Structure 1
Amino acid sequence: MEERAGVLDDLAELEVFRTLLEPTGIKGIVVDCPDCDEEHHVDWALMQANLRQLLEEGQTGRHEPPFDPDPDDYVSWDYASGYADGIAAVADREEPGGEGRGGRHARDD
């Protein structure tokens, strides 16, 4: 149940990241693959599908990465999380009575 809750949290965060970053031209997330020791550039929809498949089946299948992706079009999960935290902090400061509650999307791990 704890792992399921973590994946559900990841799905919610991913939607926030996509909402904030897609309009800026970012196409998805880059992840380090421990199996092949390479970076994989995963677009927003595929990342969402992977997480949903993980919820439903307990694992993800193999997917073809984009052909010749431009690394500048993808960000790490940590970058996306920091970006979302920055946007939230600015919104908190601009909100009347905003106390700057800190990062809402920062991971504890």
Structure 2
Amino acid sequence: MKNRVDVRTLLSVYEKIKSQGKTIEFGSQLEDIKCTESPDGYSVSLSDDKVTLDINFHNTYHFHTMNEDPESVINQTTTEFHNNNEAQIQEFVHKLEEIDKNY
């Protein structure tokens, strides 16, 4: 991702979803964002239908998009693939910022 994300904000959003969202099978959900945590508590995930964000111990994070492999996307150049994924990530981060602001 081109822009760095503040891990404290991500964890704040996670806590808001966990405390104010509804309980789902493997975690909680607020609006269309779901949160889960590993059994050992060392990592948490935030996700929607297009993007998953894993936040790990020592404040590292990694975004995953629906189509991680550019070779699996037909009729799309590698540049278009990366731009599309970046747009999905930016939209996802915007949703997280809105939750942080509104709750």
Q: Taking structure 2 as the reference length, what is the TM-score of the superposition?
A: 0.32
Higher relative helix content: 1
Higher RCO (C-alpha under 8 Å, 6+ residues apart): 1
Higher relative strand content: 2
Q: Which has the larger radius of gyration?
A: 1
Q: Taking structure 1 as the reference length, what is the TM-score of the superposition?
A: 0.30
